[in-house]
Structure 1
Amino acid sequence: MGRSTVGRSALLSSVAIVAMTVGAEAQDPQDRGGVYQLGEISVSGAGQGGGGVGGSTVTREETWTFEKNTLEQAVNLVPGVVSTQSTAGQRNETDIFVRGFGRWQVPLMIDGVRVYLPADNRLDFSRFLTNDIAEIQIQKGYASVLDGPGGMGGAINLVSRKPVKPYEGEFMSGATFDNRGSFQGWNSYAMVGSRQQDFYVQGSANNLNQDFWSLSRDYRPYRAQGPYAGSLEDGGRRNGSDNRDWRINFKAGYTPNATDEYSINYIKQVGEKGAPLNVYNNPPSSQNSYWRWPAWDIQNLSFASNTQIGDASYLKTKLYYNTFYNVLSAFDDITYTTQSNNGRFDSYYDDNARGGSVEAGTELIPMNTLKAAFHYRQDFHTEWNDNRPTSPTFHFTEPKQNQSQATWSAALEDTFHVTSNFDLVGGISYDKYRIDKAEEYNNAGFIYEYPKGGADAFNWQTAAIWRYSEAGQLHFSVSDRTRFPTIFELYSQRFGTAIPNPNLGPERATNYELGWKGRVAPDLRGSAAIFYSDVRDLIQAVRLNPSQSQTQNINKGDFYGFEMSLEAQLSPQLVLGGNYTFIERNVSDVSVPGFQPTGVPTHKAFLYASWRPIERLTITPSLEITSDRWSDVVVGTQAQNAPILAAFPDPYIRTGAYTLANINLNYKVIENFEVAGGVKNLLDQNYELAWGLPQPGRTFYVKARATF
């Protein structure tokens, strides 16, 4: 296993590094850095002390220093990765793009177990908290076939913490305030654990409670001539911006010797959220847009093990059972009190998955490392609507509709150690899925079943890794991977406007990367990569007649770009660093005139300094910079929206360019207690990531952390 750490600030992480290295000689290799190693994903070519094929890692200290409390905020710290607001604004979801690939092509995992929503996989990355995460692994372009199917554009893995001391704990609490000084919400975290000679136990709880966030003072409600009544958002506190999320994590492990480990891990996260309305549309588009999520819950129970077999081989296993429970409520109007009109509902998703994997590896031949893995997973999706629940006349509840699918993958990876400093890696896998059940409810009041679908795919990848010095590495990789369609893409009729396609095939991309990381000078280190992706068989809705479309594999595209990071230790008290990404995406589309890929800026940069004027005080200013990005324009056809249609006549618009200035001050009161405070969006910039969805203005925060 290996992790890329290029771009991590040495000074920002100094407190954590000191804590980890004190007494390191007495620590078991299993206790490295408090990272739950059984939850890490594979990093190809990392077995001989190198960092493997390109990727990035976000650490706990970085999320603390830069006040990144949720996943979509944290990933913006590294090059090649950007978060954005879903253009379907009524869903209030964030998405993450890794070198241009979004949530459908880049699987998300928690401790190596995939979080997958079989209905549509519309993950909302804002629901995933970071305080109990040891590190965020991000593989870009090249994700090992050993980790299972779906890594068409990379992979993201949240690795939880594990205790390293006989007795340890951490407590954190913080509060946020808007640009008018009003209290917005609070964030807290608590962890206790114990690492003994043959076992460890740990429990933690993380909570984020936000009553609202506020818009920039520069925001002005949209106005138009004619019958338009004005924006539904008047500024100040953003309507529908509340959310509440908490997560608990328990684990227990048995470590009979220095190499073997057996662990049970339980994670439960519970969320609820509002959905701010598009500020241009009034009435909203569609009028069925007054949505809230009273439940957005995930649960994961897993067993993981690592067993050394002799001196040269190992066996890893993983078993898991996870659930997803989601409730979407559609209301009549902006009061969010009644659900009586036609098309209003409480929509329920109740999903579960069970599966496992086994991985074996051997170095029986000194110059060769051979690994094999097998994954199997079953997903079960149940949905139903409670329609017009507050109507005394038309209220009725649909019967439950069930869908299920099975997915499996067999993979083989071989690393040939040409020399002690040069590796050649090759991997292949065969992935297959089938739909076992596909029920739907029709207007006549009957449940029927769609034709069952399925597909298979062969994947391959290869890499060359040259570690030309202790700190320097060059690598070149090619990875050809696929992504299977979701149930939504296969069967959704989109309220009668689409025709199902059970024969829909997988998407495919061939990703190329040439990368470097190392030291330019003793106090200057960095990384760089150029990348290109040949994307084929992209899934897109094709217009079959004036009123209906069908999802088909019709598109192809080219994603390409460059990324780099640098960090300079200018003095014992001052570090400067940052990263930059350039990316272009060209997608040919035969069904949507003027189609533009949305959500990804052409240019993105993150710059920071860490200055320690006195021993206990660290001041960390930073800048987050992006160019504009394409966004969908979704305007209703109601007569009241005619001025909006006139103002925004094209289906796509460029929006979202911004420069956010932030600052954090951290003061270490005593060895085990520190306080911090800062400002995000210091200049109170008014900006949008998606059309009609402005983002938070200036935000103040204070927090404290105690460890023992």
Structure 2
Amino acid sequence: MADKQIFTAIALGIWCLFLNFPTTSTASKGSDAITITAKEIEAMNVNTMADILNRIPGVRCGDTSVSIHGSSKVKVYVNGKPLNDPTATHGGVRWDMVDIDHIEKIEVFKGKGGVSHGSDAAGGVILISTGKITKFKGSVKTHVGRNDVFNAKTNATMLLGKMGLGLSGEYNTDDGYKLNNDKETHRLGGRLEYSPGDAADFILTADYMNDERGLSGLPDFPTPFSRKETDISIFSLLSSFNAVTAKTYLNQGKKHNTDISKGLDKSIKVKKWGQDIKYNWKFNKNNGFNLGAAWELNTASGTAFSSKEENSLSAFSTWSRSFDSLPITLSMGLRGNYNSDFENAVNPELKIIYKKNSWQISASYNRANNTPSFYHRYNETSSTIPNPDLTMETSNNYELGLSMTHSDALSTHVTLFYNRLKDKITYVRNDYGIGQYQNLGEATYKGGDLGINYRPLEQLAINGSYTYLEAKNEKTGLWLTAKPAHRANVDFNFTPTPKLFFNLNLLYTSKNYTNKSNTRSVSQYLIANARAEYFFQKFSVFSEIENIADTTYYFVDGLLAPPLLWIVGLEYKF
């Protein structure tokens, strides 16, 4: 049966080869990705990936997490290198490994991308590109702040003939704002590029990170002795030659949880070996076709379970076509997935984009499968017990989007979405503060988001986003935990002179439930953050204040959020 499913995907790709319709002239070609360029990032004057991604409607990004339209099943890649933490849930992302100064482009696919990138992408896919190394440049940046916050990081790139070299490092420490809330992080990264000719490129990257921190627990169920140490190392080789692209990667991690008050001393090690290969066939300027295959081997071992080994094999094909007589782009794809320990699956994807000069409308459907991670099934902490019986989650996603450019100063984007999930994987906590991941049954995510970009003056830019999400258990009609119905974010960027920058950020999150029976909740909150930066020659001085009003509030999972925090720092670019 598995072979038939995979062959079905390959057969679709072969069929697409014959869909080379005649064309007569150039047509506008639309895109369903939200793209952020290096120039736009530079204008933001931001310090973290969260500062960038939280401006996108429907996207919620934290220091080590990301979700789209309420789903944390989001795949993240940097130049083809997977950035997801193998020892965490699907939403765990090591944003520390991204150098913002070197980003050339960010593409965000909301609710789609599983056909090209495989399982665990029901929420979407984020692709980050740093571009080629072209010269010697770099930066040194440091800041200090409240609660003995200290951060120092550096990066540099240089070009030696046809070879580019990049190095980066970072150290971060923070005493935290509550008991057992401290952390200490070390990171090292390296990048080697080789371009022997116009048609060939090779990018080899290696990254390592160690993170040691305390886990304070919920206010009603504190865990003052719970500690966690995480080691992550990621290696990848991205090769391209003409129309063929190949990606080889090793993503491995170790998580060690201890709590001397409970006699807890548990660890889990995970390795993900993978190989992807894709062929891009461009018939003409309007008609393109991709055919690819992927293999991944996952292994895990730990103190609480015997060694595990799982593997997956998949094949996919996609086809896109734009028309000369109509400003329409059609695309479709199919992926067949074989999983050694879970159900096999066939996932389709269909999209249509209608694009005129000042506006674009799109509609899409795709199905994605999310396999429970080793962390879901076997990790144990002071507040989480394992559940090795988890099964695969399936998500059918529908989306309708409209983008409009009203003038040079104003543009808007609206998206309506409906996601139906089978065997939804969610964290369920009991009345004593202990929980585990469970298959909830059928659930739906439905709602919409709105984005507005407005520049009333050359010195002032206003960016706003709002998301409505109704996430419910279809059997009981109750709301899912940690899924607030309303989120809103507004950024005011003011640049009175080319050397001076100010930002004011307002973030609103509505009330949401923290238990399955909807009897406990955390209140809504509105917080304000501010940032300022002054540039002189190759230096800049910056400062940030989070939670200006010193509001006491709780994150959507019930954890106490930080009070007023401030940092001041200095950066030198060379």
TM-score, normalised relative to structure 2: 0.84
Letter in 2 for 1:663: A
1:686 equivalent in structure 2: 552
- Measured after TM superposition, the shift of residue 484 of structure 1 is 2.1
Match of 2:431 in 1: none
Which residue number in structure 2 is paired with residue 661 of structure 1? 528
- Name the CA shift for 1:683/1:49 in 2 (closer, same or farther; >3 Å): farther
1:172-225 per-residue CA deviation (whole Å, 9 max, x = no partner) reads: 111122xxxxx5211222111113552211111122211223xxxxxxxxxxxx
User: CA 1:138–1:673 in structure 2 vs 1: closer, same or farther (change >3 Å)?
Assistant: same
User: What SS does the corresponding residue of 2:198 show, helix, strand or coil?
Assistant: coil
1:696 aligns with 2:547: no
Q: Do structure 1's residue 572 and structure 2's residue 512 form an aligned pair? A: no
**Structure-2 separation of matches of 1:78 and 1:146:** 22
Q: Structure 2: how far apart are the matches of 1:247 and 1:187?
A: 11
1:347: Cα distance to partner? Answer: 1.3
Cα distance change on mapping 1:318 and 1:49 into 2, 3 Å: farther
Matches within 5 A, 1:134-283: 134=103, 137-157=107-127, 159=128, 161=130, 164-177=133-146, 183-196=147-160, 198-213=162-177, 238-281=178-221
Match of 1:624 in 2: 507
Structure 1 residue aligned with 2:360, among 449, 462, 473? Answer: 473
1:315 aligns with 2:244: yes
Q: In the alignment, which residue of structure 1 is the partner of 2:306?
A: 401
Match of 2:349 in 1: 461
Distance between the aligned counterparts of 2:238 and 2:564, measured in 1? 43
* Equivalent residue number for residue 483 of structure 2: 600
1:78 aligned partner: 56
| 2-structure distance, mates of 1:496, 1:525 | 45
Alpha-carbon distance change, 496 to 666 in structure 1, aligned in 2, over 3 angstroms: closer
| 2:116 counterpart SS class | helix
Partner deviation per Cα, 1:615-637 (whole Å, 9 max, x = no partner): 3212221211121222139xxxx
Aligned-pair distance for 1:378? Answer: 0.5
Separation in structure 1 between the aligned mates of residue 427 and residue 35 of structure 2, nearest angstrom: 34
Q: Does the alignment pair 1:427 with 2:333? A: yes
Matching residue's letter, 1:667: Y
The answer (yes or no) to whether the contact 2:384–2:436 under 8 Å persists in 1 is no
CA shift for structure 1 position 490: 6.3
SS for the counterpart of 1:146 is: helix
Q: Secondary structure at the match of 1:255?
A: strand
Instruction: From the superposition, tell whether residues 691 and 557 of structure 1 become closer, same or farther in structure 2 (CA, over 3 Å).
Output: closer
> How far does residue 705 in structure 1 lie from its aligned partner after superposition?
1.6
Provide the rounded CA distance (Å) in 2 between the counterparts of 1:463 and 1:256: 37
Does residue 96 of structure 1 match 2:66? Answer: yes
Q: Deviations over 1:574-597 (max 9, x none)?
A: 22221111111122246xxx8531
- The 1:127–1:163 alpha-carbon spacing in structure 2 relative to 1, beyond 3 Å, is closer
State the SS of the aligned residue for 2:343.
strand
Matching residue of 2:226 = 291
Alignment check: 8 A CA contact 1:479 1:512 kept: yes
3-state SS of the aligned residue for 1:532?
strand
The residue aligned with 1:224 is none
Q: 1:575 touches 1:611 (CA, 8 Å); kept in 2? A: yes
Distance in 1 between residues matched to 2:236 and 2:107, nearest whole Å: 19
Provide, for residues 162-181 of structure 1, a one-character-per-residue CA deviation record: whole Å limited to 9, x for no partner: 5644211111111122xxxx
Q: Which residue of 1 aligns with 2:373?
A: 486
- In the other structure, the counterpart of 1:440 is none
- Distance change (3 Å), C-alpha of 1:662 and 1:66: farther
What is the CA deviation profile of residues 17-51 of structure 1, one whole-angstrom value per residue up to 9, with x for unaligned ones? xxxxxxxxxxxxxxxxxxxxxxxxxxxxxx98856
What TM-score do you get using the length of structure 1 for normalisation? 0.69
Q: SS of the counterpart of 1:101?
A: coil
Amino acid at match of 1:292: R
- Structure 1 contact 253–263 (Cα < 8 Å) conserved: yes
Distance 1:707 1:75 in 2: 24
CA apart distance, 1:674: 1.4
CA contact (8 A) 2:57 2:451 kept: yes
Residues 500, 116 of structure 1: alpha-carbon distance in 2 compared, 3 angstrom cutoff: same
Instruction: Output aligned runs, 1:430-579, within 5 Å.
Output: 430-434=336-340, 453-469=341-357, 472-487=359-374, 501=389, 505-539=391-425, 555-579=441-465
Task: Return 5+ residue gaps in structure 1 as ranges.
Answer: 1-46, 85-92, 178-182, 214-237, 309-313, 333-342, 386-399, 435-452, 543-548, 634-649
Query: How far apart, in 2, do the equivalents of 1:66 and 1:621 lie?
Result: 12
Which residue pairs with 2:498 in the alignment? 615
Structure 2 residue identity aligned to 1:676: F
Matches of 1:679 and 1:51, distance apart in 2: 39
Q: Is the 8 A contact 1:129 1:206 kept in 2?
A: no
Distance in 2, Cα, partners of 1:367 & 1:614: 44
Amino acid in structure 2 at the alignment position of 1:307? F
Contact 2:368 2:394 (C-alpha < 8 Å) held by counterparts: yes
1:374 aligns with 2:293: yes
CA distance in structure 2 between the aligned counterparts of 1:496 and 1:575, rounded to whole angstroms: 44
Secondary structure, in 3 states, of the residue corresponding to 2:54? helix
How far, CA to CA, are the matches of 1:530 and 1:496 in structure 2? 35
Aligned to 1:302: 236
Please say which structure displays the higher CA radius of gyration: 1
More strand by share: 2
- Shift in alpha-carbon separation, 1:345–1:517, aligned structure 2, 3 A: same
Percent of counterpart pairs with the same letter?
19
CA contact (8 A) 1:117 1:351 kept: no
Q: Quickly say closer, same or farther: Cα 1:684–1:118, change in 2 above 3 A.
A: closer
Shift in CA distance, 115/378, structure 1 to aligned 2, threshold 3 Å: farther
Task: State the Cα distance separating 1:496 from its structure 2 match.
Answer: 13
Aligned residues: 539
Specify whether residues 75 and 632 from structure 1 end up closer, same or farther in structure 2 by C-alpha distance, changes over 3 A only: farther
> How far off its partner does 1:278 sit?
2.3
Taking structure 1 as reference, are residues 459 and 123 closer, same or farther at Cα in structure 2, changes over 3 Å only? closer
Contact residue 60 and residue 131 of structure 1 kept, 8 A: no
Q: What is residue 412 of structure 1 aligned with on the other side?
A: 317
Q: C-alpha distance in 2, partners of 1:364/1:63?
A: 36
Cα deviation, 1:456-513, whole Å, max 9, x if unaligned, reads: 01100110112211x5322111111111233466689999999864xx6532122111
* Per-residue Cα deviation, 1:412-446 (whole angstroms, up to 9, x for no partner): 00011223842100010011211xxxxxxxxxxxx
Structure 2 Cα separation of the partners of residues 541 and 208 of structure 1 = 30
Letter in 1 for 2:184: R
Shift of 1:96: 3.3
Q: Can you give the 5+ residue segments of structure 2 that lack an aligned partner in the other structure?
A: 1-25, 429-434
Q: For residues 487 and 455 of structure 1, do their structure 2 counterparts lie closer, same or farther at Cα, with a shift above 3 Å needed?
A: farther
Change in CA separation of 1:249 and 1:109 when aligned onto 2, cut-off 3 Å: same
Deviation at 1:673, TM superposition (A): 1.8
User: 1:151 deviation in Å?
Assistant: 1.5
Cα–Cα, structure 1 residues 200 and 656, in superposed 2: closer, same or farther, change >3 Å? Answer: farther
CA contact (8 A) 2:311 2:339 kept: yes
Change in 2 beyond 3 A, CA 1:325/1:500: closer
Is 1:359 aligned to residue 297 of structure 2?
Answer: no
Contact 2:55 2:463 in 1 (8 A): no
Correspondence for 1:44: none
Counterparts of 2:566 and 2:437 in 1: how far apart (Å)? 45
The one-letter code matched in structure 2 to 1:418 is F
Deviation at 1:55, TM superposition (A): 3.7
